[in-house]
Every structure is written in structure tokens, then in C-alpha cells.
Structure 1
């Protein structure tokens, strides 16, 4: 009679991200390189050894997570799967389940995100047709998500991927998405892109705001990014002197940005502080299609600095940060990259690439937050999802529903 074999030794150390390189998932996907690391996982580039097609693979670890974190992982995957039927949403190809990780196989976009395409490739700025084409695709993707009851809540260039030399954009990162059309998650997203109502600290326990108009506001900031290469303000709050100047003078943006009068009118409807009066996605789509020009043909038409007025005060430092640089020299190449001055508003500074949070105490410190949350009299450490976004604590009691026929394909191996 053979002796019983000894039990397998327990691993005493955790595998690092590099240790999984070369691994073959489901006899199909070989992990070949690391694309990035989040607070709770790693994104790999993988190759389908049967077709030689590249994919991105998110490795979501199962160990060390509590029930709430696992629930948010499941929600992110489910909402991404539900939205990925649209051609301008990054497609979720497959979910692979192993004892230690859930591997999410998604479409690979080798040209990077919209942020890097604007700041490093010099795309979109100065090319109204390309910017309009990209923005309409993004509008269609968000409109499709809303039709499925999904509200993204973290729309920004870092969460939009680019393919086909800038002619195609795809929405990604559903880490903060929700199916709540009305929410109490104040401070959810990235500060540059939050609507005023999202940034308001809740003064009443029953305070809420609508999710769809908040996405529309974020799209307006992205439209400024595409056309001007910068953000209109740091924060859509009266505390921000540039936003305060915009509230007092609707023509203010056209005095500091190279936008056309037609685009300025569109932005005024997007940046409507009353969410009930804010332009709808369908109206915005029609306005962009019918807009004859997005930007001015020459920077020379702009004043060297924002005009001063005795009716309101603009912080001199903020004005210095948003003023456009001198006109670029004449060049036979119209697609020369635009170089902005160092600025808190410019997309060309690393600090402008924001992390996301779900806290009104967001520190905007990249992929992490030092914010603390009060819950039942206790101080709690923030909980991050895979992307480093803070999971909203007030989602703790929410019951999460999906359509009854929704069954993601999960392959165990």
C-alpha cells in the first residue's frame, strides 16, 4: 500500500507582479509585460498564443479583500461587461477565475489614453474635425451607458483609450460607475471634472444629486481638454477664482481660451450650475454636429491675459496659470505639438493627471488618497478599488441589482 503523499508546502511569500510574466492563462493568454499597477491589482499585456492577438489582462487578487471590496470588484466587472456592447467602450472579452486571482481579459489599445495623446502626441488640438469626431464617439458611448442605466462618474482623459491614430476613442474604467440615477456619493471622481453639485459637502443626511447631469459636466471639461489642451479651472466651486469669474461673466472662457463663439455657447449650456437646466446628451450631440468651428484659427486674436473687471476679482496666480502661451510660430506642419506653460490647469504637467476618489475630502494625490471617513463614530481608512479609486462608504448598505438575464461568462482554470 502506497504511503499518503505529503501535503503541498504553503507559500510563505506573495508573488510579485513580475513573477507572473510568462504565465499561460487558460492555455490561451500568455502574460508578456506589465502595463501598469493599481492599488489592488496589475494590468498585463497578454498574447493569445493561438491567434497572436494582443490583449490587456487585469489581475484582480482575491486574497486580503473583505466582503465589501469583493462586492465592488464584482460590480465593476458586471457594469463593464454590460456596457462593452458599444463599439466606443473598451470590450470586456473574457473573465478567467483562478484560486488566487480573477483575470479580466479586455481589448488592448496600444496607443494609450487620451491624456497622453493630447500631451505627448499633440493630437486633437488645432484639428477641429478630429476633436469633433472623437468627442461625438465619447458622447455616443456615454449615452449608451446611460441607456443601460450605467453612470460612469469618472469621465476624464485618463479613462479614455485611443486607437487608429486618434480616429477612434473608447471609454474604459468602470471602477466608480453606478446604476443609481440619484446618488449621495459627494466628491466622487476627479476634482477637475466634477460638477458643482457633486463637490458640495452634504449638509443634510438626505442630500442627493443626479448622476446623468454630472457626467455631462465632465464631458464639457473633456471637450476643453480636446480643443485647448488644458482644464478650464481647478475646481468648479466659488472658492476657485477662475470659476468664480466664469460665473460672473459667461464670456470669460472665450477670453482665456482659443474657443470659437459657437463652442463658447455650447460650453455655457454644459457648465450650467443648475443640473435640471444643463444640456442633455442628445442636445449636446446635435449642438456639436452643427457647430461650424470649435476653435479660433489663430491664437493672435486672444489677449495676452484675462481681462480684468472691477465687478469681480480674479486671483492673479490663477490668471497666470490659465493664460495661453504666445502664438506658435508659422509652420508648414499644422499638427505641431502644442507646448503649454507650466500650470495647474494645463494638461501638460504631471500633476494634472489626477487620480479619482469618492470622498469630499479628496487630496488629488494621484492614485492614492489620505482622506479618512467617519462611519458610526469611527475613523476608517479609505478602501480602494483596482484602479486606486476610493470606494464610497455610503454604498455599504446599497443593494446592487443587475438585469435578470445578465450572466457574465466566467471560465475557471
Structure 2
């Protein structure tokens, strides 16, 4: 079990992100722009100079890393590769290992992440059909990850990319993912999306929690984001007055958000404090499919919509909770998972310098030998282990909670909720993204 990610590396000798712009990797892939910069590296836009196909390239720094930090990089790459067999997970196309960094070539989604599509473009709020389509795709991706023993632990709109004019979404960023069914990595992820059991260790001997239901809780917050453009609370903790109010009154969310009765009922199943009783993903999918509407114009809202200085237009509800009619979108069919494309377990192929691979239509053939035409650095192409096939749809995926159902570790949440005074609440805006690469 790997613990919570180590601190950021010391970047001794690390070149500036813009220094790599224009560089051609493997003789064909040219870095053209910078998408983001984080503690562990840089994400670039890139283009295949022979096919003009765009890609994104994650340059993970190797200089100054401790062995533990290297293991986290390797784990992210390996788990992402296994998960990318699903069509709603961003494809990991190729890995190239250079002396100073590891280049991870991934699918490029030019429409950005789900966060910007919700807050800046207002693409899903008021559009129940589109929101349902997107959320079902997210459910499929997460269920597939769980079926092969991968738990994301950082599900949030910033880690979901959008394509096809919002019709298709893809799960990304496996930097905090784990293969541990039970984990003791408390505080792992983003506070807005963490489950209560993930916040702080429970009293001994229950100093661990199940990874799967923690992901389910995060899915519930994303569902509120998609439908209302808000977060239900800042933190699912006793320190958060909004969350305590919800613990005291299960109907509380309908008083601050324009939720339909059906969606409110679904959220109660997701936001079950006891992880052993929390809804499973297959059951959640069925409820979402049957949900006639996500929002309601008759929702009892205790406070008026905030004024513009406190609620920019991109965060505001559409027309003060008025639902915009849209054409129906049919649910997605069961995805056909591609066969594994890599067969050898972490074998390495040496790359000769100064040659190019002009025989292939794409630079990313798993068996090709290519090189860098603009640098004297040699690249090693890393072949990952095989991916796993998903189980047939409808097969129940189960998990064992580290806490017995009868255990009362979560009772302090209930007790603290009784101390909440009757005050006016308003839902917090969606948190600005914090990019960590």
C-alpha cells in the first residue's frame, strides 16, 4: 500500500516549461503549447507532424525525485493504462522515457474539462437530458475502474474532460488512484468531494475505510454540480454548518437547491454517512435512468439567489431555477470494451537516435521504433501490462466495508447536526480548480 502522495519534488536542474515548446519527440510529435503546470510536471498540447492529429503530453519530471515519488508516478501511469480500455476514460496512447522526464501521451480533448463547461459555458444546467447522458458515462467509467480493482479517489469535474459538444465525457487524472480495496489515506482528494469517512481517521481499530463508497460519494457531489451548478457544502465534516444542517434534516438540500423530489431521493442514498449502506453504482444507474427530471421550478428555496457580486453569471442557476426544455437524448448503449493492445509486462525497447518511423500512419504504434529528431536525448518506449476486460453489465460489484453496519462511528455526525441553529443557508459556488499534475 502506498501512502498519501509525498511532497512536491525539488526541481534541481528542471528546465522551464516553455523551454520544451517546439521540441519534436520521437521524430514526429511536436510540443505546441502549455495546458497546465503542476508540482510534478507540465501538460502540453502536441501534434503529430505527419498526420496532424492533436494529442496532450504529460511531461512528468524525473529530476530530484525520491524513490517513493517515482513509485507514485509509475502507479499513476500503470493504473491509467489499465483503465483507459474503457471508452469513457481518456486514452493513454504511449509512454516515452527520457533522461529528464517521462512523456505520457494521452488523448486530447479540446473542449476542456467538465468544470469549465458547467461554470463558464452553462452547458448542463437546466438541460436534464444532457446532464443525464454525461453522468451515466461517468458512472460507466467509474464502475469499470472498480470492476478491475482501481479506485480513483479524486473524482471531480476538473478531472473529467469533455468532447463532442458536451455529449461525451471522459475520466482523467489517475494521480491519486489506488488499487487498494481498503485504504488509510485520509484526506486524499479534494475537500468538496471527499466522503465523511475520508476526512479524518475514525477511532481505533477502524482507522481505514473502503475506497469504492468514497468514490460513490464524490459522484453525488458531481451530480449536484451537473444539475445545479453548485456544491452542496464546502466539506462533508462536522465543521461545516451546511453539512450539519443536512445531517439534521434530510430534506435540507431541497431548501437551498432546485432539486426535483426524485433527485433529492437519489442524493439521500448517495450521501449516506455510513459507507456500508451507501448506494452501489449499478443501483445508482437504474435510479438515474428512471429519474424523470433533475430540477424543479417549485423547489422550496429558503434564500433568494445571491446577487451578482457574490454569484457571477457563470455560477448562477438558469433563470432563477427555471428549467429549459430540451430534446430527449437516448441513454448510452452498453459500451463494447476494446481488446487489450499491450501484451508484454513492462518490457522496454531501445530507441535509435536520428531515425524516424515513416512507415506507420501514426507515431504511436506500440511496436514501432522511433526517435527524437530535435534532441540528442534518447527515448525508451515502455510497454505496459495488459488491460482487463470489464465484467458483463448487470454483474453486481460488491465491496466489504471495514466498518460493520451496526458500528456507531458516524453517530457524532448525527449528534452534531442536532446543534444546528435555524439560520439561512445558501449553497457554495463550485470551487475553482486546483491543478495538480
Question: CA separation in 2, counterparts of 1:344 and 1:70?
Answer: 40
- Determine whether 1:345 maps to 2:428: yes
SS of 2:237's partner is coil
Instruction: Give the aligned partner of residue 274 of structure 1.
Output: 274
In the TM superposition, residue 83 of structure 1 has moved relative to its aligned partner by 0.2
* Counterpart position of 1:73: 73
What secondary structure does 1:161 align onto?
strand
**Matched length:** 319
From 312, 318, 328, the equivalent of 2:319 is: 328
Task: Give 2:86's aligned residue.
Answer: 86
Task: Note the 1:138-217 alignment, pairs <5 A.
Answer: 138-204=138-204, 207-217=207-217
Q: Who is 1:393 aligned against?
A: none
3-state SS in 2 of match to 1:188: coil
In the other structure, the counterpart of 1:305 is: 303
Cα deviation code 1:232-277 (max 9, x no counterpart): 0011112211111111111111111111000000000000001011
SS in 2 for 1:93: strand
Give secondary structure in 1 for the equivalent of 2:201: coil
RMSD between aligned residues? 2.4
Higher RCO, 1 or 2 (CA under 8 Å, sep at least 6)? Answer: 2
CA distance in 1, matches of 2:322, 2:286: 34
Cα separation, 1, equivalents of 2:323 and 2:66: 58
Distance 1:333 1:233, change over 3 A: closer
Once the 2 structures are TM-superposed, how far is the Cα of residue 140 of structure 1 from its aligned partner? 0.1
- The separation in 1 between residues aligned to 2:272 and 2:185, in whole angstroms, is 20
Distance (whole Å) between structure 1 residues aligned to residue 139 and residue 50 of structure 2: 35
SS at match of 1:169: strand
Q: Secondary structure at the match of 2:27?
A: coil
Q: What is the CA distance between 1:329 and its match in structure 2?
A: 7.3
1:39 maps to: 39
Pair 1:275–1:333, CA change in 2 (3 A): closer
Alignment match, 1:372: none
**CA offsets 1:98-119 (integer angstroms, 9 cap, x no match):** 1111100000000000000001
Q: TM-score, normalised by structure 2?
A: 0.69
The residue number in structure 1 matching 2:129 is: 129
Q: Is the counterpart of residue 22 in structure 1 residue 22 in structure 2?
A: yes
Q: Encode CA deviations 1:317-357: one digit per residue, 9 max, x unaligned.
A: xxx99xx968727999879xxxxxxx88112xxxx1254xx
Identify the residue that residue 239 of structure 1 maps to in structure 2. 239
**C-alpha separation in 2, matches of 1:283 and 1:327:** 29
Check whether the contact 1:158–1:353 (CA below 8 A) recurs between aligned residues. no
User: What SS class does the counterpart of residue 82 from structure 2 fall into?
Assistant: helix
When residues 36 and 327 of structure 1 are mapped into structure 2, their CA distance, relative to the original with a 3 A threshold, is: closer
CA distance in 2, matches of 1:93, 1:280: 31
Aligned equivalents of 2:35 and 2:94: distance in 1?
18
Contact 1:190 1:354 in 2 (8 A): no
Q: Which runs of 5+ in 2 are unaligned?
A: 1-11, 305-309, 327-425
Shift of 1:170: 0.3
**Unaligned runs of at least 5 residues, structure 1:** 1-11, 307-319, 336-342, 356-366, 368-386, 389-413
The CA distance in 1 between the partners of 2:40 and 2:277, in whole Å, is 39
- Note if contact 2:115-2:157 (Cα within 8 Å) is conserved in structure 1: yes
Runs of 4+ in 1 over 6 A off after TM superposition: 324-327, 329-335
Alignment of 1:322-401 (within 5 A): 328=319, 345-347=428-430, 352-355=431-434, 387=436
How far apart in 2 are the matches of 1:66 and 1:249? 48
